[in-house]
Chain A
Amino acid sequence: MNRLQQSSLYQLTRVRFMLVWREPEAIFWIFIFPILLAVGLGIAFRDRPPDVLPVGATSAQLTRALAAEKGLRVTQMDPATGKHSLDTGAILLLASERPGGVTYEYDDTNPDARTARLLADRAIQVAAGQRESVSARNELIHETGSRYIDFVVPGLLGMNLMGSAIWGLGFAIVEARQKKLLKRMVASPMPRWQYLAAFLLSRLAMLVVEVVAFLGFARLVFGVPFRGSLLELAFLCVLTSISFSALGLLISSRARTMEAASGLMNLVMLPMWILSGVFFSAARFPAVIQPFVRALPLTAANEAFRANMLQGVAINHLIPQVGILLLWLILPFAVSLRIFRWR
């Protein structure tokens, strides 16, 4: 054995790494699941051509006028059929002639129906001879970086780093405590800090594989942009992972059973899944809870990832987010070192 192999920190880290690697379920949740989730969301929110809106008209003249509008698909129908189609949602709007004008029937709470109303009215007015008083020209933009998949990939990255750190650390520590292995370890001359440090080191080794696989997939399959510095992105990933590891350590510092630990983990993670802007922007929550939402580590991580990847923001403009993550690293770590139950 060489010197490295004789070092207890190396052995502890190596053992941690192997234990995760030999657990097929852990591999699934850490590596496969986030990719599956990205694929599912990518398919659900893929880019489609703008919708063509179905409308109905009760006369041949109106039908002709509406057919000139590319945004509408018009069907001629008698008033009774038209009413029925409207009620069942087969059409969004029914245009009927009345003496001296036209009547639109539609649901004004449905945005698509309101769009149909605008398009239909414009088409009919133009057919009747109205001219635009201001000349307008349209330029269409379909830029990467503004799609839903671009929004959700950094969120999934943050969520995945949180889950693997908290679950990975929490369950392993509580299991070792429950099986009296922790007690056996502290009965040996092993330095205690090395036991905890080994978790962080093996987490970092795993992180490289985990992040590269996930982001590589998002890049190759969805063309998600990386506009910021990759080095800074790597730093943000490491910081996020270590912060959540510290939180995982705190959660597992007292729990004696897997059930207790599991409950605590859900208690900690559930609010962040909902509030921290993984699937939709955290800005949508009411202003009163915004200070709380923004203080959560996952919110800070997601904001930082999005700023780096989508807007190319440099790290010196992300001080608040980095600061929040650092606080979430230092405080839980300091507390858990004081209250950690070694047996």
Chain B
Amino acid sequence: MSSLARNTHLVESSAPPLLIRGLRKGFADVQAVDGIDLEVRRGECFGLLGPNGAGKTTTIEICEGLTEPDAGNVELLGLNWKTGANELRQRIGIQLQETQFPDKLTVEETLRLFRSFFRKGISVDESIKTAQLEEKRRSRVGGLSGGQKQRLAMATALVGDPELLFLDEPTTGLDPQARRHLWDLVEALKLAGRTIILTTHYMDEAERLCDRVAIMDHGHVIALGTPQQLIATVGGEDIVEFAVTAKDISRAHELTLQTQHLTAIPGVQSHRVDEGLHQLSVSQLHTAVPRIFAALEEQGLHLSEFRTHSATLEDVFVRLTGRNLRDE
């Protein structure tokens, strides 16, 4: 797996791989990016996380030099797009959302084409090996599965041996097995020390792959940190979700849950309700749960649903926006 790591170790400057200051971009009807500051450190996998329409793709495409910002500065590897575009294109690797490579070319031909654009980089064979497409080397792109096409897109981003790798929603639309396969590939690249910036709207993907995550919503960064730091802001390590009905059907109209009885329980940090589903963030799950049961029993309420899970980035998003990611 030698090709996972960069072959050329130049005297790398101290400039951060990516520095964004005061970035803004509006389209006709929407302010897609509304004042963003970010700094990505060398060797980390940085995630832009958020629902569709949060401004992730606009942000990453500005970084890739494909879109002009309205305001703000973007610096990559100490260079900017105005004066160093040609140099930058040689040094970054890009995988875009929904690129369709020509169906009638083979994997090898496609990669040979992309390799020819770069002054230096890894060999076509190496890129095929890295993307684990050896068996498909002579297959036409039209005959590849969704996961294989996405790995090909990744390989075209790697042939130039980039110092900085952009992956825009690399697993969107893939089946679970293909997603895991791609995660393994990204993790291997990460271990090899490459700097990666990826966007995703899958919380589990960000949690598993990213060293640091910026959560975006409506063009703003609403949270920034390691997944562990962000999850800790929810307050409890676990989330309890339940729904209730009245025990006595005739008293259903009187059904009101006295939430102060719940939040008074030691270990319960917060309460919110969404379409009849109550959510508590809880620490010390083992002592809190019996007390929750007792409090509900006391109010004459019957549990129709009950489950717990460890807090995730999804819960962070819910706490910050009051919305679920999947609602979008």
Contacts and interface: CB of A to CB of B under 8 A. Distances in A.
Contacts of A184: 94, 96, 99, 101, 156
Interface residues of A, number: 25
Interface stretch (B30-38, B107-115, B213-221): B107-115
B73 interface: no
A187 interface: yes
A189 B105 CA distance: 20
A27 to B, nearest CB: 13
B117 interface: yes
Contacts of A11: 112-113, 116
Interface of A: 1, 5-8, 10-12, 15, 18-19, 22-23, 176, 179-181, 183-184, 186-190, 343
28 contacts: A5-B112, A6-B116, A8-B113, A15-B102, A15-B113, A18-B104, A19-B102, A22-B104, A23-B104, A180-B96, A181-B99, A181-B100, A181-B101, A183-B66, A184-B94, A184-B96, A184-B99, A184-B101, A187-B66, A187-B89, A187-B94, A188-B114, A188-B117, A188-B160, A189-B89, A189-B90, A189-B117, A189-B118
Q: Report which residue of A12, A176, A179, A187 has the largest number of chain B beta carbons within 10 angstroms of its beta carbon.
A: A187
Which interface residue of B98, B104, B119 has the most chain A CB atoms within 10 A?
B104
Contacts of B104: 18-19, 22-23
Closest 10 CB pairs of A and B: A179-B100, A189-B89, A11-B116, A8-B116, A22-B104, A184-B99, A190-B117, A187-B94, A188-B117, A11-B113
B260 interface: no
A180 B114 CA distance: 15
Given A22-B104, A188-B160, 19 more contacts: A1-B112, A5-B112, A10-B116, A11-B116, A18-B105, A19-B105, A23-B104, A176-B102, A180-B96, A180-B97, A180-B98, A184-B99, A188-B89, A188-B94, A189-B86, A189-B89, A189-B117, A189-B118, A190-B117
In terms of DSSP, what is the predominant structure of the interface of chain A?
Answer: helix
Interface in B313-328: none
B65 A8 contact: no
A10 B115 CA distance: 12
B238 interface: no
Given A180-B96, A187-B96, A12 B113 contact: yes
Residues of B contacting A: mostly: loop
Interface in B177-226: none
A5 B109 CA distance: 11
Contacts of B114: 188
Nearest to B140: A22
Interface residues of B, number: 26
B100 A180 contact: yes
B90 A179 contact: no
A184 B99 CA distance: 7
Contacts of A10: 116
B64 interface: yes
Nearest to B95: A184
A343 B61 CA distance: 12
A246 B94 CA distance: 31
A8 B113 CA distance: 7
A187 B113 CA distance: 14
A7, A183, A189, A343, most chain B CB atoms within 10 A: A189
B146 to A, nearest CB: 15
B124 to A, nearest CB: 8
Contact of A189 (B97, B112, B160): B160
Interface string B67-80: 00000000000000
A20 to B, nearest CB: 9
Interface string B53-70: 000000000001110000
A183 B117 CA distance: 15
Nearest to B112: A11
A23 to B, nearest CB: 7
Given A188-B114, A189-B160, A190-B117, A18 B109 contact: yes
B117 to A, nearest CB: 4
A181 B66 contact: no
A180 B99 contact: yes
A12 B117 CA distance: 10
Nearest to A11: B116
A10 B102 CA distance: 17
B58 to A, nearest CB: 13
A190 B159 CA distance: 13
Contacts of B66: 183, 186-187, 343
